[in-house]
Amino acid sequence: MGVVVFAAVIQRFAILWALLGGSVFAAEFSQADRDWWAFQPVRQAAVPADGGGWALNGIDRFIARKLAANGLTVATAADRRTLVRRVCLDLTGLPPTLEQIAKFLGDDSPGAYEKLVDRLLESPRYGEAQASLWLDLVRYADSDGYNADHYRPEAWQYRDYVIRSFNTDKPYDLFVREQLAGDEIDPGNRDALIATMFLRHWIYEYNQRDVETQWHEILADITNVSADALLGMGLQCARCHDHKFDPITQRDYFRMQAFFTPLLPRDSMPVGTVAQREKFLKKHNAWAAATDEVRGQLHAIEQPVLLKHATGEGFNKFITKIKTMIRKRPGQRTAYEQQIATMSERQFGLEPEKLPERIEGGSKAKWEQLRAELAAFDPEEPKPLPQVKFVVSDAGPLAPATRMPKSGALVEPGFLSILDPGLANITPPPAALQSTGRRTALANWITRPDNPLTSRVLVNRLWQRHFGRGLAANASDFGKLGEPPTHPELLDWLAARFVANGWSVKKMHRLMVTSATYRQASVNAQSERTDPTNTWFARAPISRLSAEQVRDGLLAVSGELDLQTGGEGVVAAESNHRSVYRKVMRNNPDDVMHTFDLPDHISHTPQRNVTTTATQSLLLLNSEWTRKRAAALAERLAKRHPGDAVAQVVVAQELAFGQAPLPSQLGDALEFLAACGATDDLAALGEYCHVLMNANAFLYVD
Amino acid sequence: MNFEAPMTDRLFSRRELLLRGGGGFGALALSGMLARDKTFAAAEPMALGQAQFAPKAKNVIFLFMEGGPSHIDLFDPKPLLNKLSGQRMPESFKRPITAMGEAESPLLASPRKWKRHGQSGIWVSDWLPHTAECVDDLAVIRSCWTNGINHSGGVCQMNTCQPLAGRPCLGSWVNYGLGTENENLPAFVVMTDTKSTPVNGPRNWSAGFMPAAYQGIRLSPGTEPFRHLNIPKGVTTATHRRKLELLRRLNEQHQATREHQSELEARIRSYELAYRMQATAPEAVDLTSETDATKRLYGFGNKDTEPFGRCCLLARRMVERGVRFVQIYHGAGSKWDSHSKMEENHSRQCRQSDLPTAGLLKDLKSRGLLEETLVIWGGEFGRTPMSEKGDGRDHNPTGFTMWMAGGGVKGGQVIGTTDELGLRATEDRLHVHDLHATVLHLLGIRNLDLIYRYKGRPETPTINEGVAYTKITSG
């Protein structure tokens, strides 16, 4: 009887399960949750007919329709000098050179502007400037954070990878797939392995004895940043409880985290195709099997001695549970033990080279004998494959358990259940990779052309960069705490085009900056009065230069900018390289850049703060660094136009503002020079240049 | 909750407030954000620049004893510790994870002489004779606890409520919530007793995800109190004025065609402010008008006490001039950290800090400033009853002592207890979240109602947790 009832319940449950699309959790969501705009498929909206006579591409027609609906008219087109400064700063992060200005002003062919845009997109400066978008999102840094803030000597390779990816216009889906799972997708490609440094940018405390808690914080951080950056969904709230506003359950949080649970930070990762890895592993396994007994005995003798003399933080400060994990032979550890032991082992060093003097007494003879036995197998041990450092792999083909806090219930990997309630379909990768395939499954889902978030989130970020505010205002929160898009059809049209154009970021930039919307002037009295936040884009925004643009801009104007590309980071205050190549030390940011709202690179930053402070004014007015730039510009001018104060002033303003001086400004400048010294006085010219570097016409772009 | 965008009236009134109200290093920062982020304006249920209810305290001085002072040798006597000295902790005490793995090390007795002080009869050890004189003004909180077991996480948490970096510190939240009362000085200043940098560096007074305008500004005693304040060498005052005049003209011409752009106007104002600060800040740090008696009170003339005493005296002057939040690190760079040689370490640290701390309390009190100035004393954690290296103690985040005085706090009370060895807080336990909530409560701010929107999320100073210990005002 009891059995029958039980069976009936099971059967009902199964029917219910099937009805709900394979998940009991699906029932938690209301219709309003399901109807939320960001979860709807990207629609192929028809381009409206509005904007005739003004519109240059589809963007403008969507914009024109909303402008008409809100009773707004577009601004006039920006003048050419304004436009060339704007687009140069937007695409390359640098103010236009005199040559760039002259070339554009001198080209009166119909496609002159488009040609300028193409030149800028092809410039290596483009990737250097756009990289900051991504580096902010992934909180890239060259140091650990925390007190010691240790330098990470390998991290810069990731920064160069990002710059290179922008410059070669790597399709965005591939860019994402490499960063999430390059080790599984393309293990023979060093670049794809470097991309996985995406999963290494967490802050890290080198002497944290509570190793397990730190590891769980790292996994949480990776989960949060991945969702913020790639999906524009803030998952963080759901770590401790179901999200209070969005249909994201706590279980969803851990379904997502489960893709990362098997991670193992690697400081020596082989670079090899599947075939190469297979060949290596086969030989290695044969050697390992043949030597297992000997190595086991050696381990028993050597390890206590090695641990006794462990350097760095030593071995004894760990709790017993962790000591036990460390003592196990790597092959005998579970995946989780391997993770915790590896993280713990980072805290100390071993000195196997000193074993001969440290192993004493009766075991010495035995040890020497075992060593000799092992050495006999040396010819059979395969040569290691080339290595790459500071990357990740999985801890092995078997994933450690992902558990819900408190209940401890086991969680299998799955996507946001509002979008896909089932379990993720995971294909194990070739055995030689010793990996679970979980991250590949996640990467595949995120980069599916029909994923409603991925393409919308990225095009919205690009829009924010060019137009001051995203079409959806919260670039990393497409949930209910963010704002719904002002132009949903345009956002979808852009997202669909982005995917249709092979996820090309350059093409999307081009589409945006060649629109009439982008080319408007920043002044539009009607729009300023009735739409002060510029919700409907009836004018171009006026924006303050970013931290990088302030520093690079001053160096470019002064003629000191060193355009050397790539390589290990430099100290910004002591170097004239572009800011993107600076060493990003989390606890010691560059003074100039920090003052101009550089983010801390500790957490994900979807949009920079823009502040106006007396601290900035004092820095620009009184700091040694700014004054040196001014002096260098004065020298540049004096060399270019010796003794010709008028020419010096004209060129100085053109460099700093992109505009020639008005007659009254020229008069003011000459008067200032005369009052400060003789007209050919380099010091007086320096003071004049210094004033330009403080001026709004330099600090803002419109 | 209403997520509709507020409309332009509010936006503009706020913006005007910001422009008019100035705020020196502070409030101007918002203007740029307001222009582009509608949700931002909707974010705060409380109006910026004023308390939510009648505050007890207007200003805060936070004396940060960096490195972890030993509560069981200063404020929390434990007879059982001396009784069990040299033995392992009884099995009834659950083993903690400690920084140096000292859970099984022998217990270390406290050799201090303990006495009850004042009318309240609160226990203070002979390491703090001067603080002991002020004990009737103190609320001694013996039941503090935190999470970070290392200095970095501990200092970070005591400042920001969480051990992981990235959040705004308490001073930034207060600056954000209340603003300044003197637009020519920063609302939030930070000092260190020596040239050493505290653990984590300037991140401790960073505004985290909030605009940098809310961060603490470092104040250094000397000829240049704030960075880049002074006109560079080689530039005459006349040239400097001429430059500012030329700059003004350029900016006005630039703005003439862009009159609706308040950012541009704010930038112009920021230069005016910088100029005014150059005039006012030197006076604020000029101690020549202080009497010898006052200076003696703070320990001037003694090389041990003068460095911290100078910071304390400057703190009083800042508070007098309307600076909202002052933080002083004593022992910057973990100098209170005493893994070995406790006796030598704490003797020195107490000798340097005890007299100036008491001097500050007495001076504030005699000037009638203590009533509205909350003074906080404490480190990032306490120390273990277990010994380390024979004569030191390991970090103890699970139970330690802080005290608060002034700003509406009822003096002469002891709050909470730790267990018999001082290892864990037991009664009236106050986590860092609760401590911050209590500080905000005294300032007239409900910790869960001060909201800053970050990535769309409503962030609060105590991470949606923390309960103010409101009884602190009544005992």
User: Could A668 and B246 be called an inter-chain contact, meaning their C-beta atoms sit closer than 8 Å?
Assistant: yes
β-bridge mates for residue A626, sequence order: none
**Each residue of B276-295: pLDDT tens digit?**
888 889 899 999 999 999 99
- Kindly determine whether residue A700 and residue B264, on different chains, have CB atoms separated by under 8 Å: yes
Chain A residue numbers with beta carbons less than 8 Å from the beta carbon of B460 are none
Note whether A612 contacts B200, CB cutoff 8 Å.
no
Q: Beta B59-65 vs B373-378: how paired, if at all? A: parallel
Residue A21 pLDDT greater than 70, yes or no? no
> Using alpha carbons only, what angle is made at residue B318 by residues B315 and B323, rounded to the nearest 5 degrees?
120
Does the CB of A316 have a partner CB in chain B at under 8 Å? yes
Contacts of B35 in chain A (CB under 8 A): 532-534
For residue B454, the model assigns a pLDDT of 80
pTM: 0.86
Task: Determine the residue of chain A that is closest to B395 in CA distance.
Answer: A209
Residue-level pLDDT at A512: 98
Residue B240 belongs to some domain of the structure: no
Distance CA A248, CA A257 (A): 13
DSSP string, A617-641: HHHHHH-HHHHHHHHHHHHHHHHHS
Q: What is the reported pLDDT for A629?
A: 98
Contact B165 A697 (CB under 8 A): no
| pLDDT (mean) for B428-456 | 93
Q: Which residue in this structure is represented by tokens 């009891």?
A: A2
- Out of A318, A481, A665, closest to residue B253 by CB: A665
Cα separation, B25 vs A203, whole angstroms: 29
Judged by CB atoms closer than 8 Å, whether chains meet at A609 and B33 is answered as: yes
| pLDDT score, position B48 | 59
Q: pLDDT digit string (tens) for A379-424?
A: 999 999 999 999 999 999 999 999 999 999 999 999 999 999 999 9
Mean pLDDT of B452-456: 80
pLDDT in tens, A429-444: 999 999 999 999 999 9
pLDDT at residue A187, rounded to an integer: 98
Range of the domain at B466: 59-222+291-473
Question: Is pLDDT above 70 for B31?
Answer: no
Could B38 and A535 be called an inter-chain contact, meaning their C-beta atoms sit closer than 8 Å? yes
Q: Is A691 near chain B, with CB under 8 Å? A: yes
List all residues 6 or more positions away from A213 whose beta carbon is below 8 Å from its beta carbon: none
**CA–CA distance, B163 with A431 (Å, rounded to integer):** 40
Q: Which residues of A touch B211 (CB under 8 A)?
A: 597, 609-611
Nearest neighbour of B274 by CB, restricted to A203, A617, A669 = A617
Q: Is A214 on the interface with B (CB under 8 A)?
A: no
- Taking CB atoms and an 8 Å limit, are A609 and B29 in contact across chains? yes
Beta strands in A563-623 (DSSP E): none
Q: In chain A, what residues touch B210 (CB-CB under 8 Å)?
A: 609
Radius of gyration of chain B (CA): 23
User: For A483, which of B29, B39, B103 is closest by C-beta distance?
Assistant: B39
A278, pLDDT greater than 70: yes
Q: A-contacting residues of B 154-183, CB under 8 Å?
A: 164-166
* Residue B448 touches chain A, beta carbons under 8 Å: no
More confident residue, A259 or A477: A259
> Is position B122 within any domain?
yes
Q: Which positions in chain A touch B213 (Cβ < 8 Å)?
A: 611-613
pLDDT at B37: 36
Position A92 scores a pLDDT of 98
Is B454 within 8 Å of chain A by CB? no
Q: Quick one: closest CA in B to A481, which residue?
A: B456
Q: What integer pLDDT is reported at residue B17 of this predicted model?
A: 34
Nearest Cα to B164, choosing from A645, A403, A205? A205
pLDDT at residue B221 in the model? 78
Residues of B in contact with A469 (CB under 8 A): 36-37
Query: Would you tell me which residues 319-338 of chain A have a C-beta closer than 8 angstroms to some C-beta of chain B?
Result: 319
Residues 239-278 of A with CB under 8 A from B: 245
ipTM of the complex: 0.90
- The domain ranges of chain A are 171-268+393-446, 276-387, 619-701
Query: Which residues in chain B are contacts of A217 at CB distance < 8 A?
Result: 164
Given an 8 Å threshold on Cβ–Cβ distance, is B257 in contact with A523? yes
Torsion angles phi and psi, residue B454, rounded to 5? -130, 125
Nearest residue to B353 (alpha-carbon basis) of B57, B159, B129 = B129
CA-derived radius of gyration, chain A:
30
In chain B, whose CA is at the least distance from the CA of A693? B247
The encoded tokens of residue B455 equal: 């990535």
Locate the chain A residue with the closest alpha carbon to B244.
A691
Interface of B with A in 225-264 (CB under 8 A): 226-232, 235, 239, 242-243, 246-247, 249-251, 253-255, 257-258, 260-261, 263-264
Chain A residues inside the 8 Å CB shell of B166: 600, 602-603
Tell me which residues of chain B, numbers 1 to 30, contact chain A at a CB-CB cutoff of 8 Å: 1, 3, 5, 8, 11-12, 24-25, 28-29
Q: Is B32 on the interface with A (CB under 8 A)?
A: yes
CA distance B105 to chain A (A): 11
By the CB < 8 Å criterion, does A695 face chain B? yes
Minimum distance, in Å, between the CA of residue A695 and any CA atom of chain B: 6
Chain B residue numbers touching A696 (CB-CB < 8 A): 250-251, 254-255, 264, 267-268
B406: in domain: yes
Q: How confident is the model at residue A520 (pLDDT cuts 50, 70, 90)?
A: very high
Instruction: State which residue of chain A sits closest to B388, comparing Cα positions.
Output: A317
| Any B CB within 8 A of A664 CB | yes
Nearest Cα of chain A lies from the Cα of B38 at a distance, in angstroms, of 7
C-alpha span between B239 and B243 (Å, rounded): 6
Q: In the structure, what pLDDT confidence band is assigned to residue B400 with cuts at 50, 70 and 90?
A: very high
CA pair distance A576, B253, nearest whole angstrom: 32
Question: pLDDT for B113-165, tens place per residue?
Answer: 999 999 999 999 999 999 999 999 999 999 999 998 899 899 999 999 998 88
Taking the Cβ of residue A70 and every Cβ of chain B, the question of whether any pair is shorter than 8 Å is answered with: no
- Element at B242 (helix H, strand E): helix B237-256
Report yes or no: B200 at the A interface, CB cutoff 8 Å: yes
Q: At residue A700, what are phi and psi to the nearest 5 degrees?
A: -120, 155
List the 344-383 stretch of B: residues with Cβ below 8 A of A. Answer: none
Q: Does A542 touch chain B (CB under 8 A)?
A: yes
pLDDT band, very low/low/confident/very high, at A678 (cuts 50, 70, 90): low
Three-class secondary structure of residue B189 per DSSP: strand
Give A680's pLDDT tier (boundaries 50, 70, 90): low
Q: What is the pLDDT of residue B275?
A: 86
Rounded to whole angstroms, the Cα distance separating A326 from A343 reads: 10
Averaged pLDDT, B398-415: 98
User: For the residues of A444-511, what is the DSSP string, one character each?
Assistant: HHHT-TT-TTHHHHHHHHHHHHHHSS-SSS-TT--STTS---SSHHHHHHHHHHHHHTTT-HHHHHHH
Of the two residues A42 and A614, the one the predictor is more confident about is A42
State the average pLDDT over residues A460-484: 92
Hey, is the C-beta of B75 within 8 angstroms of any chain A C-beta?
Answer: no
Does A76 contact chain B (CB < 8 Å)? no
Among A148, A614, A687, the residue with its CB nearest the CB of B25 is: A614
- Report how many Cβ contacts below 8 Å link chain A to chain B: 242
Predicted pLDDT of residue B50: 74
Tell me what the mean pLDDT of segment A569-573 comes to.
Answer: 96
Report pLDDT digits (tens) over A187-199: 999 999 999 999 9
Q: How many domains does chain B have?
A: 1
* Set of chain B residues whose Cβ sits within 8 Å of the Cβ of A612: 28-29, 31-32, 213, 263, 266-267, 270
Q: Could you tell me the pLDDT band of residue B456, with boundaries at 50, 70 and 90? A: confident
Name the band, by pLDDT with cuts 50, 70 and 90, for residue A356: very high
User: Which CATH number do you get for residue B298?
Assistant: 3.40.720.10
On whether any CB of chain B is under 8 Å from the CB of A318, the answer is yes
